[in-house]
Amino acid sequence: MATRSQVEQYIPVAGETYDVVVAGGGPAGLGAILGASLQGARTLLLEARSFFGGVAAIALWMPMNRLLLNGGGRGGVHDLFVQKIKSFGPLAWREGKRNFIDGDGLHIHPDYLRLACMELLEEHGCHYRLYSPVTGVLMDGHTVNGVVVTGKEGRQVFSAGVTVDATGDGDVANLAGVEMVQGREEDGRSMPVSLVFALANVDVERLFDFLQDSKRFNALLDEAYGQGYKVAAWYSFDRTTLPGVVSVNNGALRDIGNIDATRSHDLTVAERLGIQVATDFVRLARDKRIPGLEDCGLMRVGAAVGVRDTRRIVGEYVVTLEDAESGAEFDDVIARKYGAVDANQLYIGQMKSGFAYPYRSLLPRTVDNLLVAGRCGSATFLGHAAGKSMGNMMELGQAAGVAAALCVDQGVTPRQLDVRKLQAVLRQMGVHL
């Protein structure tokens, strides 16, 4: 049982210096901080929100796909994470879906997930702090030496031997002046920004039996849209750890237009219309007597909208759709991406599951002492969409964290690191390269 004094030993004092500072506490950030800590680095994880876990904690039992590999372990941080989640028992998790987009994952209760993240950090000696958005960087020429956060206390500084940007939006890289791209190349379009919600008082088996007839369900939605209900572009339903409760992912309001999730204006629009989609779905489900949902109620919406893509760095190598489709191999492979190409309605397709991801895609071209992991890594729009599942993002983060720790230990920059030494450590951790 944690006490205040036990917890406070992991919360940093402003101005402290660390071997590795990781910004962003989603799957990529968790992979990075634990990967670095496992190599003996003194580590700090900073998160802008009030919890760790990223979209999985925001989005209410959304499956964390690709935490496993063909039902078995992926090694390293993945195995630690899965073991921790499963230690809480069936109230905390259940097996995920098994289709070509979603697979090898877990549905995790969002609050058990938050607790699991903190316990893992404490067990591995990681310092951490919430409510700590990165608002600046410490720079010496083109070299990043740490970050600035701005909380209620004001501006505070944390110095780092190497910094890992796992913010999803590439906030650290953007502040450091790294070249960034955003959206689909031909028109700047982003994937939908969605507010996930959970429904209670559901006859779950009757609902899932009904959903097998997708044409009937879609026709009902089209009818409701024509009658003025605020209907999403699509809906996806997930079982949860609670009886009578389902989680509802969606493609955001039909005809909402493009949402740029790096703009507070657009995020406000997405939140406002997202809550309307959630409440209107309850109303239409009850009015239309959708089987299993006749008496449903809105349990809650997610803690924030879920974002699928924003900024991506231009790195030493840019991962492409062609790499995914051809099953690319690289001499500097440090992770593999499994699954399918899922850009939601903008593009869905097959790829060679397990294609290689190169170390060079973690490296910004012109800025040193910075590694970038997760969805803000170096890729085209569809290169990112290829295998963008949370388990894959955790593996990219793990590689960045281990690399950062090795750099500090060896006194080299990430660009100077011998990738063969990084690969050797990852293999020793049980990672399938």
Burial of 418 from C-beta contacts in 10 A (0-12 / 13-18 / 19+):
exposed
Average pLDDT, the chain: 97
- pLDDT at position 345 is 84
pLDDT of 98 above 90: no
The angle subtended at Cα 135 by Cα 133 and Cα 136, nearest 5°, is 135
> Sign of torsion, CA 137 133 80 377?
negative
- pLDDT at position 109 is 98
- pLDDT at position 190 is 97
- pLDDT at position 247 is 98
Residue 388: Cβ within 10 Å count: 24
Report the C-alpha gap between 206 and 199 in whole angstroms: 14
pLDDT digits (tens, 9 = 90+) for 2-29: 899 999 999 999 999 999 999 999 999 9
Consecutive H or E run containing 182: strand 180-182
- pLDDT at position 1 is 63
How many residues appear in the chain? 433
- Per DSSP, what are the bridge partners of residue 148? 136, 157
50 falls in which pLDDT band (50, 70, 90)? very high
Report the C-alpha gap between 259 and 107 in whole angstroms: 27
> Sign of torsion, CA 360 363 366 369?
negative
- What is the average pLDDT across 79-100? 95
pLDDT digits (tens, 9 = 90+) for 324-380: 999 999 999 999 999 999 998 899 999 999 999 999 999 999 999 999 999 999 999
Q: Which domains does the chain have, with CATH numbers?
A: 12-186+309-428 (3.50.50.60), 197-301 (no CATH)
DSSP state at residue 303: S
419 falls in which pLDDT band (50, 70, 90)? very high
pLDDT digits (tens, 9 = 90+) for 56-73: 999 999 999 999 999 999
pLDDT of 86 above 90: yes
Dihedral of CA atoms 381, 386, 389, 392 in degrees, nearest 10, equals: -110
List of residues 6+ apart from 140 with CB closer than 8 A: none
E strand spans, 309-406: 311-313, 333-337, 341-342, 348-349, 355-358, 370-372
- pLDDT at position 100 is 81
101 falls in which pLDDT band (50, 70, 90)? confident
- pLDDT at position 20 is 98
pLDDT of 413 above 80: yes
Kindly state the tokens that stand for 177: 């002046």
Burial of 213 from C-beta contacts in 10 A (0-12 / 13-18 / 19+):
exposed
- Look at strands 17-23 and 43-46 and give their pairing: parallel
pLDDT of 180 above 90: yes
- pTM for the model: 0.97
